[in-house]
Structures are given as structure tokens and as C-alpha cells.
Structure 1
């Protein structure tokens, strides 16, 4: 494309996405990301369809946090990873692959094969509870992602995405 012509994906409002390492079931963990030095995401409640938990694990220290979407602490995250955090780790491994998750979280294990091995290595380090201060930000990002699902496919620009760099020269 050295002649200045833009490819089809450069002209659209969508970007290429790296496919999941393996297919995920979004009902239990609809949102998972490696961002801000943490594995973080949103996990559905097993007992209440209207409740979700915002869970995270910090890279390196493995400090963890888990609370509901309205900032009530998770009853299972006292002294160890709760089931929400374990589900988040499992889905992150499906989404990104065990090696990438281990590398991001700075888990020193050889031959990481699955989420169980990764979780065991982190809990063996006896992590403490984190402050959970990022829960509102993570939940807000999740809600923004849900809003994009409601949009009709379009090649027109999205105003909130205009900060992305462009390959075209801008006339001053």
C-alpha cells in the first residue's frame, strides 16, 4: 500500500481484533482485560442474575480485589482468591492464553498449561487483598463495551474514537 491508498480496514470505524486463544462463554465472565498492571474484569453472580462482581489481580504482588457493581465487598474474597477471581483467571487464560497471562501477571512458573496451575502459583505466594479502587473504572469500561454491541455495523466514524492516529496527512 505504498501508493497512499488506504486498505478497507483503515477506512472503517472498526479495527482488527486478535482472536481468543480458545472460545469463551460470555455468560459467566462477560468482560476480561489485561490493563493498568492488573488482570481485571466483570464476573456474573452465581446466585443473583442482576448482580455482577468487579474482580482484579495485580501483576507481581497478586493483590486481589472483588466487589459488587455497587461497591459491596465479596464475601468469598477473605484471605484468598474467591470463586469470582478464579473464574476471571480461567477466562483470561481462554482469552489470552496461559503464557501471556503468566507473563503479564509476572507469575514465575515453567510450562504453564492451564488456569489451575497459574492460580495455584499465585495463591502459593500468599497475596493480600488490594484496595479495589479501580472497580468503578473497570465497570465503566465494561458498560462502554456493552454500548458498542448495540450499535449497527457502520463504516462511518465514531466521535469517541477520533483520537486514534490516522495514516493520512492532516492539512494545517
Structure 2
């Protein structure tokens, strides 16, 4: 039986709510990547991508953050904005994470469709994202929602770590 999502809302996060995004990442990220990445890489990437000054810098540069709520309880987040390569043509989904207790209820799809509609409303023609090659659950979810793999990407992120991803996109 599908989960009743009537209590689920997605709201734009202001700069003052970025600490909530950081706290959600600290709670969600280790569970999401424990079977894919080492504990050392998880800690390194959390600091690299979710320290409050990093989030504030992204926000200042135009990245949009949305919080996903069950009633008044924050349960996940998204972030997205213009691509660096083609900022007037392409948007990038940087982050979409949901508390594990809310998986398999259609909420991730609801959040993804929200981002797709936001990108369309800003007249982008393509939305792309990077997803870890070993994150089969996320890859299936993106494919169910119309995304296709367009290339592979291995990015050195320092300290001996790499991000080994597929780049996926959907035409808007």
C-alpha cells in the first residue's frame, strides 16, 4: 500500500536553515553510503560538502536548497542550480537525500519531480546529476523518472579519494 504523502511538503530553505541541511546530511549520509564508501571517505566528503561554510558559499553562489518535511519534521533535502558549463541551458541536481525511514514511499520521486518542475519553470532544457556507480537503488530511481546515463566520471577529490560516478540527465 502506498504511503500517504499528504503530510509531506517541500519548501525552499533560506540561509538560516542551512544548519538543518548539514544536520540531515550528518544523519542520512553514513547510512546512504556505508556499503559503498569507506568510513574515512564518508567523513571526508561530509566535511568537504556539508560543513556550514561550504553550504553557505554554495547558497551565496545561487544554489537553491529545499527541505522535505513530514509535517513539521525535516526528513530530507535537495539542492540544485545552474550547471557551470552551460548555465543558461542546463541545471544540475547536486543533492537529493531522504531519511532512510522514509524510503520506498514515493517521497524521493516526489522530491525529484519537484526539482524537475523547478528546472522547467526556469526554462532549463536539461537537468543532470552525478550518482555513484555502485548506488544501484538511486540509479534505478533516476531511470524510473526518465534519466539516462550519458557518461562516466571519475573525480579526484583529494586525500586519496575519488568520486566514481555516472552522469545522468533528463531532457526538459
Shorter-chain TM-score above 0.5:
no
Q: What TM-score, normalized to structure 1?
A: 0.27
Q: What TM-score, normalized to structure 2?
A: 0.27
Structure scoring higher RCO (CA < 8 A, sep ≥ 6) equals 1
Indicate the structure with greater strand content. 2
Indicate the structure with greater helix content. 2
